[in-house]
Amino acid sequence: MALKLHHLNASRSQRIVWLLLELGVPHEIVHHKRNETTRLAPPDLKTIHPLGKSPLLEDGDVVIAETGAIAEYLLAKFDAAHTLHPKPDSADFPRYLEWVHSAEGAVFLPGLLALYTGMAGITDGPVAQMIAGEREKVGAHIEAHLSKHAYFAGDTFTAADCLMGFQIVMTDAQGGLANRPATKSWLDRVTARSAYQAMLAVGV
């Protein structure tokens, strides 16, 4: 049975669509649309997983939630040659591991908080200023890293780039890369990849 990915529009599931295309693994995409008023996921996702979030991966009777967990599952099963994830004894492995988890962790959180507070109309005051400061710190951290490395794990494109892509694309759309030349250069390289372009054709 082919893999089935439940893909929600305007969500982090874009990362897994991209990764599947980079891996070249046969799969089916099941599209779900956000409620146009609330921007929440549709209730039918809860019939697949109790949290009703996306992405969700079905592999036969197995259902997996959480972007990082899905990525690790796919790489363990379908990247035996370690084309998209370094071997544990590689010098790139610690960097790779950190950025894979940063994509859903401390590096990602300030952008998510900015989205939620913006939706709530909180655009000024101590909380908004704290979030803006954290976003600036994250952006500077990414820029410093990509000034030294062509990709997040080192000199080679990996799944860490797929997972980090969602945040950086959103930052660029908001004008946040105007003074981040290394990050913008990285973005130009990865978005030119055929799998990334195919992901756009799937629908984001």
144-158 b/e (C-beta count within 10 Å ≥ 16 → b): ebbeebebbbbebbb
- Which strand (E) or helix (H) includes residue 172? helix 159-173
The residue-averaged pLDDT of 145-150 equals 98
**Residue 181 pLDDT level (bands cut at 50, 70, 90):** very high
Beta carbons of 158 and 165 less than 8 angstroms apart? no
Q: Confidence band (pLDDT; 50, 70, 90) for 19?
A: very high
Residue 22 exposed, middle or buried by CB count within 10 Å (0-12, 13-18, 19+): buried
Mean pLDDT of the 178-199 span:
96
> What is the reported pTM?
0.91
Q: What is the pLDDT of residues 58-111, one digit of tens each?
A: 999 999 999 999 999 999 999 999 999 999 999 999 999 999 999 988 888 888
Quickly state the pLDDT bin for 1 (edges 50, 70, 90): low
Q: What is the pLDDT of residue 64?
A: 95
Model pLDDT, residue 119: 76
In this structure, what token pair is assigned to residue 124? 């000024």
CB atoms within 10 A of CB 112: 13
21, 18, 54, 25: which is closest to 168 by C-alpha?
A: 18
Each residue's pLDDT tens digit, 8-17: 887 788 999 9
Terminal-to-terminal C-alpha distance of the chain: 25
Mean of pLDDT over the chain: 91
The torsion angles phi and psi of 198, rounded to 5 degrees, stand at -65, -35
The first and second tokens of residue 22, run together, are 């980079």
So what's the pLDDT on residue 150? 97
Going along the chain, which residue ranges are E strands? 3-8, 27-32, 56-59, 62-65
Residue 38 has pLDDT above 80, yes or no: no
